[in-house]
A and B are shown apart, each in its own frame.
Chain A
Amino acid sequence: MNDILTMKNIQKSFGDLEVIKDISVSIKQGDVLSIIGPSGGGKSTLLRCAAMLETINGGSIAYGDKQAAWTDDNGKVVYAKGKQMKEIKNCFGLVFQNFNLFPHFSVLKNITDAPLRVQKRNKDEVMAEAEVLLDKMGLREKADAYPYQLSGGQQQRVAIARALALKPEILFFDEPTSALDPELTAEVLRVIRQLAEEDMTMGIVTHEMNFARLVSDHLIFIDGGIIVEQGSPDEVLGNPKMERTKAFLNKLEQ
């Protein structure tokens, strides 16, 4: 299978603080990659670099055969521009930790506005797809509600539907359940699991180890700006080889 996302030798600093030192990672079509690790270890930053919300200081990013960012001979990072960048940004979607729904739009409008206004797709088609998505998320009767009227779990499911409506090739999740209590977490994870079963390509930053074990094809443990350990979820979570991974997992169990 083809790589949907390829990140090579990524470096990212905020001022003097080197958050990502040297990370290379790729995600194949239909695969789910989970990224775990302690807070401040660089996992969210890596995801935000992939989603072009942060500018990398070194390395390269490509979606399929489209180069999004690369380092030139002088060591300067160059980003794709204009139409090419627009196409690249169309490849991925991102679900945020705190949803970031548009509060002044109804649930339905949150889902349909970008396909209609940005992608300029046919209205009947977009509406029909939105209905299917709402059904899938179990939110059929909430189409006309506003975000503030929904629980956190419902809001996050709207956010997932909103991202899917743009038909991304890959969907990123940045700690999608960290703002939710356990009950609501379950309903969001169920939806993500369903997507995994439908072979949606995904990159997920998460603290839910059991969930990561269930859905991912590949798992990486990031700490101190590098990949400490990676492999199948059973390998990394069931039989970690590195001391740092063991310490991290032990701490979670306590």
Chain B
Amino acid sequence: MELQTMVTMLAEGFLKSVAIFSLTLIGSLPLGLLVAFGRMSKFKPLQLVVKFYISVMRGTPLMLQLMVVFFGPHYLLHIQTGSDYRFVAVIIGFVLNYAAYFAEIYRGGIESMPVGQYEAAEIMGYSKVHTFVRIILPQVVKRILPSITNEMITLVKDTSLAFAISYAEMFTLAKKIASSQSTLMPFVIAGVFYFIFNYVVAFIMERVEKKMSYYR
């Protein structure tokens, strides 16, 4: 197989990896905030349920979680899943997993805010929602940005775990080509793709951090 053919095939897989990455972020960043609220809730039962959810998501392999999400409906609920379900399962698995990590990052950021910011907002008559959206959250985002970047970089590499349920993203394809052609080349190419992807992610996030450095 020619090098160019390999690159073209892997590039297609790469687009799917990018899709996993993007949809996971779009889903898990907002969901993570909701989970963080649940985790910090004064309503004990909710807090305990959320705590359990987070510990399961962080305490078991993502690869295993993907399998459960993909095969679960069939084996546990006897539901016939369609052919599109493979990709849906990947996204559900990733979003649920990453939301747990993001939730803990949000919680750390929110709890690190000085109480004086809340008191000042309360004295000035801001509603609870206004206080959070206008005063607290913008400052939290700035504080947690380095941790978010970290998770995003891990996520780029984690997309390869979709391999576990044979979703045809870049790594799955690389392995397929490598074994059929008896060559290491696809892995090298995939490695370069991952590296460039992460380089771009780091570059963009650095720009975002710079943009937020107008205050301390």
Contact = CB atoms under 8 A, between A and B. Distances in A.
A98 B124 contact: no
B126 A117 contact: yes
Contact of A162 (B119, B124, B142): B124
A119 B123 CA distance: 13
A107 B124 CA distance: 16
A94 B123 CA distance: 7
Contact of A146 (B117, B122, B215): B215
A93 interface: yes
Interface in A21-60: 51-53
Contacts, number: 57
A104 B122 contact: no
Interface in B182-216: 214-216
Contacts of B117: 100, 102
B135 A118 contact: no
A243 B209 CA distance: 59
Interface in B102-122: 114, 116-117, 119-120, 122
Contacts of A83: none
B142 A86 contact: no
A90 B126 CA distance: 11
B61 interface: no
A166 interface: yes
B116 A118 contact: no
B116 A102 contact: no
A217 interface: no
Contacts of A113: 134
Contact of B119 (A100, A119, A163): A100
Interface residues of B, number: 20
B143 to A, nearest CB: 11
State which size class the interface on A falls in: 20 to 34
Contacts of B72: none
Contacts of A104: 138-139, 142, 215
Contacts of A117: 126, 130, 134
Interface in A82-102: 86, 89-90, 92-94, 96, 98, 100-102
A93 B215 contact: no
Nearest to A103: B215
A148 interface: yes
B116 A96 contact: yes
A114 interface: yes
Contacts of A114: 124-126
A102 B135 contact: yes
Contacts of A53: 119, 122-123
A14 B4 CA distance: 73
Contact of A103 (B122, B123, B139): B139
26 contacts: A53-B119, A53-B122, A86-B125, A89-B123, A90-B125, A93-B124, A94-B123, A100-B116, A102-B117, A102-B135, A104-B138, A104-B139, A104-B215, A113-B134, A114-B124, A114-B125, A117-B134, A118-B130, A119-B125, A146-B214, A148-B215, A148-B216, A162-B124, A163-B123, A163-B124, A166-B124
Interface of A: 51-53, 86, 89-90, 92-94, 96, 98, 100-104, 113-114, 117-119, 146-148, 162-163, 166
Interface of B: 114, 116-117, 119-120, 122-127, 130, 134-135, 138-139, 142, 214-216
Given A100-B114, A103-B215, A148-B216, 9 more contacts: A94-B123, A96-B119, A100-B117, A100-B120, A104-B139, A118-B124, A146-B216, A148-B215, A163-B124
